[in-house]
Amino acid sequence: MSIIYGKRIRLRAAEREDVKKFHEWVNDPEVTRGLALFLPMSFTDEENWFISLAKRDQKEKPLVIEVRKGKAWKMIGNCGVFDLDPVNSSSEVGIMIGEKSEWNKGYGSETMSLLARHCFETLNLNRVSLKVYTDNIRAVRAYEKAGFVLEGRLREAVYKFGKYDDVLIMSILRSEWTSQKKDN
C-alpha cells in the first residue's frame, strides 16, 4: 500500500521501529482511557502483537498517523481497518492519538475522514463503523465531524474505572460520505 496523504497528516504502514512508541502509548492511562486496553502491556507483548500482524491481510494492518513538522514527519498515533466483511462490504475502524501534545488539534477527525476515504475509494466498502465509550466526548465529536452518525447504544457494555459505561456504535455509509464530499 502506498502512503495515504491528507491535508495535514499522512498514514503509512507500521514498522518495527514504531513498536517502542506504541508500547509507551498503550501504557499511558490518559491515552488508553478511551481504548479497550486496561492492563499494563509489556514490551514483549507489544512486539509479539507486531509480529502477529504479518499474518493479517494487508488491508487490516495498522497505519501510523504522522503530522508534518517542518521538513520531517512526526508519528502521533495509529489507526486501522479491521473485521473486514467482504460479503456485506463493511468494516470497523479504530484510532489512537497517543501523542498527547497533539491532542485537540483536529488530527483525530482528519484521520477518520482520511480513513473513511480509504475505506470507500480503495477498499470499496459500503459501511464503516466504530465503537466508542460515551465518556470519550472528544472522540465522539471527532467522529461526528468526520461524518459518522450515532447508530445505537450498548447499555453498560464496558466496565472501566470502577463503573459500567455505555458503548456507542457509530457509522458512515458510502452514500453519506459521497454526499458529504460533494458539499465540501
Q: What are the tens digits of pLDDT across the range 126-183?
A: 999 999 999 999 999 999 999 999 999 999 999 988 999 999 999 999 999 999 877 7
Question: Going edge to edge, which strands form the sheet with 163-173?
Answer: 4-5, 9-13, 63-69, 72-85, 90-97, 127-133, 163-173, 149-160
What is the residue whose three cell numbers read 475502524?
93
CB under 8 Å, gap of 24 or more: what pairs does 48-55 form?
A: 50/14, 50/16, 50/19, 50/22, 53/14
Comparing 35 with 90, which gets the higher pLDDT? Answer: 90
Quick one: pLDDT at residue 161?
85
Indicate the fold that domain 4-183 takes in CATH. Answer: Aminopeptidase (3.40.630)
> Residue 1: pLDDT band by 50, 70, 90 thresholds?
low
Q: Each residue of 89-131: pLDDT tens digit?
A: 999 999 999 999 999 999 999 999 999 999 999 999 999 999 9
> Residue 88: pLDDT band by 50, 70, 90 thresholds?
very high
Q: What is the pTM of this model?
A: 0.93
Residue 101's alpha-carbon distances to 6, 41, 76, 106, 138, in angstroms, are 20, 22, 9, 12, 15
Comparing 11 with 180, which gets the higher pLDDT? Answer: 11
Report whether pLDDT(184) > 70.
no
Q: Which residues pair with 80 in a beta bridge?
A: 94
Q: How far apart are CA 136 and CA 85, in angstroms?
A: 27
What is the residue whose three cell numbers read 484521520?
111
Q: Where are the domains of the chain?
A: 4-183
What are the start-end ranges of the H helices in the chain? 19-26, 29-32, 43-52, 107-117, 137-145, 174-183
Q: Which residues contact 75 (CB under 8 A, 6 or more apart)?
A: 18, 21, 64, 65, 66, 99
Q: How far apart are CA 119 and CA 126, in angstroms?
A: 8
Q: Are strands 127-133 and 149-160 parallel, antiparallel or unpaired?
A: unpaired
Q: How far apart are CA 111 and CA 77, in angstroms?
A: 10
